[in-house]
Amino acid sequence: MTVITHSTTPFAGQKPGTSGLRKKVKVFQQPGYAENFIQAVFDVVQAAPGATLVIGGDGRYHNRAVIQQAIRMAAANGYGRVLVGRGGILSTPAASHVIRKHRASGGLILSASHNPGGPDEDFGIKYNGANGGPAPENVTEAIYARTLEIGRWLAVDTPDIDLDVLGTVEVAGLTVEVIDPVADWADLMESLFDFPAIRAAVAGGLSMAFDAMHAVTGPYAHEVLERRLGFPAGTVRNGTPLEDFGGHHPDPNLVHAKVLYDLMMDPEMAPAFGAASDGDGDRNLIIGKGIFITPSDSLAMLAANAHLAPGYAAGLKGIARSMPTSAAADRVAEALGIPGFETPTGWKFFGNLLDAGKATLCGEESAGTGSDHVREKDGLWAVLLWLNILAVRGISVADLAREHWEKFGRNYYARHDYEAIESARADALMAELTTALPTLPGKTFGPLTVASADSFSYSDPVDGSVSRNQGIRVLFEGGSRIVFRLSGTGTEGATLRVYLERYEPAGGHLDAGTPAMLADLVAAADGIAGIVRHTGRTAPDVVT
């Protein structure tokens, strides 16, 4: 094997964000750009000689080119085996499972998640470790530090392999196995959920629509929903992964999955259950007939009913949620007598809790829900747990939600996103807000009085590491809350996220419209942060 040493100079700004390095395809296409980052990963993680590496992505434009190069680089960097999904496809949760099941040292996941794909759109690279989860902050920081000083990358000079044929090929001493991207993950799902009960419910008329958004979950959904569970062909919509996601934004929210939403709100046409997943298959959208379930509520409702699935019949060890996620899950944890954890935004913060057996279910307001079955959020897993619960209980989504709120109260919740703001303006808004924090308690905004305000800091209960500046929290008397945070996943300017939450106890207004319930909070958010003044925006771009 001849290793070629390519000399290089550092690129500016290869700092991994919430989910790895995400940039425009054109940025990734600069000669040496992807190679620099991958080499920085290899230099930092220092896998043992002969180690196994998993490689896969969500099928977006540029996926195959980077995979071929990563294989040549893995060979040159001493890996012994690479497992790669056929067609370069592996959903993020499936990649996490493959890493764990095949005892790989880690994996490269090529995705920009819910961001659009195509020659002028987004691409991304993320490294997950041997536990199957996103690299923790100390590793991503070390990777970034390495990108600043890197002077060479290593590769072997071999032709592309055929990614579309299952089987094993040798690449300069490296064994490359092209694996079925779906099988391992689908078997795992069958071990967790009551497939016979769901099949019986489907035979009895349970209907659903799943929108794969021309992204990675199409093959997974066809296999599990249509082939293994018996939903009729056509249940999975937009099920063929396309390099540009059909020109759409593969983000399963009410804006980008509007066709599904409109179907679910149509009293004549709606099936019993509607769901969607994103570019790389880790996010989920849950809609019942006539009712959207917020991700925060979904986490709470799943936690309250998870024991109905065989994989969770022994009960939950704990429930973890990201800080901006509503407190609905905390009330379930309390009722179950198990711990509830509040972590910073980013799935990586759940890793230690899951590895240490402190939490079983985790969830985020950003449409991520998952469990200790893998170390990523898992869109179709959430869909299957919902189906399991609906099938066993023979209940509709709307009735289940109502029952839940009558027992636990309801956390009205919305997130307002202001996208592609000039970074300097967004930074100025956050800086001014941070400075004002000590002056906020006691101030009134309409009928709301600020009880406390702080910048969220997290101390990891497992390894003691501390993460500071994870979002601004403003709590009001009576339990309402506003959180301000800048997104860590955007690829253009800055995105300001404003999270609004109002708690209504059981016996209160459980059927009101969310916008009306949150109107005072929306006004207070502008009063506190000066959103219009700083950004010039009078309304959010996306409300979820």
> Which spans of this chain sit near ligand G16 (rule: CB under 6 A)?
18-19, 113-114, 282-283, 322, 345-347, 364, 366, 368, 487-489, 497
CB closer to ligand G16 out of 113 and 326: 113
Is 113 a known active-site residue?
A: yes
CB closer to ligand G16 out of 223 and 364: 364
CB closer to ligand G16 out of 132 and 409: 132
Residues 370, 115, 101, 43, Cα dihedral to 10°: -120
Least distance between ligand G16 and beta carbon 439 (Å) = 27
CB closer to ligand G16 out of 52 and 115: 115
3-state secondary structure 134-166: ECCHHHHHHHHHHHCCCCEEEEECCCCCCCCCC
Least distance between ligand G16 and beta carbon 231 (Å) = 25
Query: Which of 319, 324, 305, 469 lies closest to 393, judged by CA?
Result: 305
Least distance between ligand G16 and beta carbon 340 (Å) = 18
Least distance between ligand G16 and beta carbon 22 (Å) = 8
SS3 311: helix
Alpha-carbon span 37 to 15, nearest angstrom:
10
Alpha-carbon span 107 to 138, nearest angstrom:
17
Alpha-carbon span 68 to 108, nearest angstrom:
12
Least distance between ligand G16 and beta carbon 62 (Å) = 17
Amino acid identity for residue 148 in this structure? L
CB closer to ligand G16 out of 39 and 544: 544
SS3 96: helix
Alpha-carbon span 112 to 123, nearest angstrom:
5
Beta bridge partners of 209: 274
DSSP 134: B
Helix residue spans in 234-326 (DSSP H) = 258-264, 295-305
Least distance between ligand G16 and beta carbon 61 (Å) = 17
Helix%, strand%, coil% for the chain, nearest 5: 35, 25, 40
Query: Which of 145, 271, 162, 137 lies closest to 211, judged by CA?
Result: 271
Q: What are phi and psi of 434, to 5 degrees?
A: -65, -45
In Å, how far are 156, 391, 479, 492 from 72, measured between CA atoms?
A: 5, 47, 55, 31
The catalytic residue among 91, 96, 105, 113 is: 113
Alpha-carbon span 368 to 376, nearest angstrom:
9
Alpha-carbon span 183 to 86, nearest angstrom:
11
| Nearest-10 crossing angle of helices 137-147, 33-45 | 130
Given a contact cutoff of 8 angstroms between Cβ atoms, the answer to whether 66 and 172 are in contact is: no
CB closer to ligand G16 out of 292 and 484: 484
DSSP 283: B
Given a contact cutoff of 8 angstroms between Cβ atoms, the answer to whether 212 and 236 are in contact is: yes
CB closer to ligand G16 out of 364 and 504: 364
| Nearest-10 crossing angle of helices 379-393, 397-408 | 90
Alpha-carbon span 138 to 135, nearest angstrom:
8
Query: Which of 324, 321, 267, 325 lies closest to 291, judged by CA?
Result: 267
Amino acid identity for residue 489 in this structure? T
DSSP 14: -
Least distance between ligand G16 and beta carbon 459 (Å) = 19
Q: What are phi and psi of 423, to 5 degrees?
A: -55, -40
Least distance between ligand G16 and beta carbon 282 (Å) = 5
Least distance between ligand G16 and beta carbon 468 (Å) = 16
CB closer to ligand G16 out of 135 and 224: 135
Beta bridge partners of 540: none
Given a contact cutoff of 8 angstroms between Cβ atoms, the answer to whether 246 and 238 are in contact is: yes
Least distance between ligand G16 and beta carbon 501 (Å) = 16
CB closer to ligand G16 out of 68 and 343: 343
CB closer to ligand G16 out of 292 and 347: 347
Catalytic residues: 113
